[in-house]
Structure 1
Amino acid sequence: MHLRPLARALAASVATVATALAAVLVPGPAQAAATINYVALGDSYSSGVGAGSYDLSTCLRSSKSYASLWAAANAVTSFSFPACGGAVTADVINEQLGPLSSSTTMVTITIGGNDAGFSSILENCRFGSESDCTNRVNQAKTFATTELPGRLDATYAAIRTRAPNARLIVLGYPRLFETGWCGVLAMSSSKRTILNEAADVLASVTAARAAAAGATFVDARPFFAGHGVCASSPWIKDVTGLIEAYHPNADGYRYGYLPALNSVTG
């Protein structure tokens, strides 16, 4: 056997192994952080009504809203926040889509409750008779199943047109009430029950239309379970909140809506 060729072959083999190890052990350039251009659309449940810490020059947008909290926790590249208290679907289409573009990567929205008139229904049920409450809730259910789907479809389509590359995340509304005994001045258990049933109808309709639009629907109800009005630790404000009545408080946005959004964003 000739030793010199064997030595050359052995040296070449060692060099190959060393090169391979160097490729594994020497770190390459750090991976660039993902770009997140986030736009938060919608009504008061998106703007953060009930949480406090409002920018009074805006539509009661709060730094404690789920949108603001998520943006702060995820080091977003950009964050636009046109959500506005009192908004209906037409307001989203006509007034909130300006920040959207082909570079938008994520859009969140709550919408539809004001279209169905839930604010006035809640007021009617709080201060009106059982029969009036039942009638108004039934009207809202009918609207939610007949008129609202088309409005939601148009809203989601408009968002898609302006932000074709974005992930659209539609968040639903929580059930607002616990139905056990809640004191002599509280809304009756039967009223609270039918209002919760209306919330269930709204969730079902919204989930179906979000799915049809290829959006991700997040059901807020499980995340607020046990923390409605009349709970020992409520995350929803009662009528005593005046303009904030029947909206999440700061805990509701932090411990209800934010985990709901986190559940689909990782």
Structure 2
Amino acid sequence: MNIRRTLAAASAAVVITALALAGASPAFAAKGGGGKPGGGGGGTTELTYTALGDSFAAGQGGGSYLDTSCYRSSNSYPKRLDADAAIKLTAFPACSGASTVEVSAGQIAAIPLGTKRVTLTVGGNDLGFSNIMQNCFVFISNTTCQSQLSTAEGMIAGGTSSVVGAKVAGVITQIKSRLAADGKVVVTGYPKLFNEPSSYAYAARVNADTATLNDVLEATAAANGAGFVDVEVAFTGHGIGSSSPWINSFSWFNTTAAFHPNSTGYANYAALVKPALG
């Protein structure tokens, strides 16, 4: 192996480490007790809330991390919602790399029984998000990229009956078993990552696949009695390559943040999610 290939292999390991699926980790419990200032003293007027899901729920890319195992951020949309006096984040097990499998096996149990609201951001890792980002936009391999995109597209074909639709439906059903009688699950969509037209060869295709995934998530949420928050429109004009990006582009100086919202992006996520919790 020559020097260039050796360096490329070493660099690839860095990207894979930064983007790889993290799997389940111990739940991150929010501080409890006493209520918040202006929140009704004992917290009786607060809406108890748990945030489940992947890196987009954890806040990866937003900086000010609370941990480096799941990249939960104080700038994430769940923590921003928790700053509202009427909303109390009682559990925050969302974790970078989580798919529906990890949410089902390692996060749902962290929901306190009788919780009023649960947000769920999941589906991207079921499609192989990190590998697609690596092979389509960092160490570009046309053959591998196209193969992985085709596989992902097959998993979201068919709406609610698609592979991903069925998995998300199962997660919603599990979550409901832990909610209060008037509890509600809110599924959130994903932003299109790239501003178009883009210099990235696969940007338009990935954006289109993101829109299809969002359609599946919205239809699945509706079919299973959950709410849905669409973030596509709000993020339009703020993708990678725009003059005012809310998504972090790839950088060797901050591989962890790549292809995830920045702090401004998560602030806008929170603004969109908040009304859906009511």
TM (norm. structure 1) is 0.80
CA distance in 2, matches of 1:101, 1:54: 24
**What one-letter code is carried by the residue in structure 2 that aligns with 1:85?**
S
Which shifted more, 234-243 or 168-177? 234-243
2:263 — aligned with what?
250
Specify which of 176, 195, 200 is matched with residue 193 of structure 2.
Answer: 176
**What one-letter code is carried by the residue in structure 1 that aligns with 2:103?**
V
2:272 — aligned with what?
260
The alpha-carbon deviation at position 71 of structure 1 amounts to 1.0
The alpha-carbon deviation at position 132 of structure 1 amounts to 4.4
1:89 — aligned with what?
100
Query: How do residues 60-79 of structure 1 correspond to structure 2 at under 5 angstroms?
Result: 60-79=71-90
For structure 1, list consecutive stretches of 5 or more residues without a partner in the other structure. 1-31
Which shifted more, 90-99 or 201-210? 90-99
Q: Which of the pair is proportionally richer in helix?
A: 1
Query: How do residues 74-223 of structure 1 correspond to structure 2 at under 5 angstroms?
Result: 74-126=85-137, 127-130=139-142, 132-145=144-157, 146-165=162-181, 166-180=183-197, 182=199, 187-188=200-201, 191-223=202-234
**What one-letter code is carried by the residue in structure 2 that aligns with 1:167?**
K
Aligned length: 228
Higher CA-based Rg: 1
**What one-letter code is carried by the residue in structure 2 that aligns with 1:196?**
N
CA distance in 1, matches of 2:45, 2:248: 37
TM (norm. structure 2) is 0.77
List per-residue Cα deviations over 1:218-262 (Å, max 9, x = no partner): 11111211100000010101111412210001110012x012112
Identity level (%): 36
Aligned with 1:54: secondary structure?
A: coil
- Give yes or no for contact 2:72–2:95 (8 Å, CA) kept in 1: yes
Aligned with 2:70: secondary structure?
A: coil
The alpha-carbon deviation at position 90 of structure 1 amounts to 1.2
1:232 — aligned with what?
243
**What one-letter code is carried by the residue in structure 2 that aligns with 1:231?**
S
Distance 1:121 1:77, change over 3 A: closer
**What one-letter code is carried by the residue in structure 2 that aligns with 1:53?**
S
Query: How do residues 10-49 of structure 1 correspond to structure 2 at under 5 angstroms?
Result: 34-49=45-60
Which shifted more, 149-158 or 71-80? 71-80
1:23 — aligned with what?
none
- Give yes or no for contact 1:64–1:254 (8 Å, CA) kept in 2: yes
- Give yes or no for contact 1:61–1:84 (8 Å, CA) kept in 2: yes
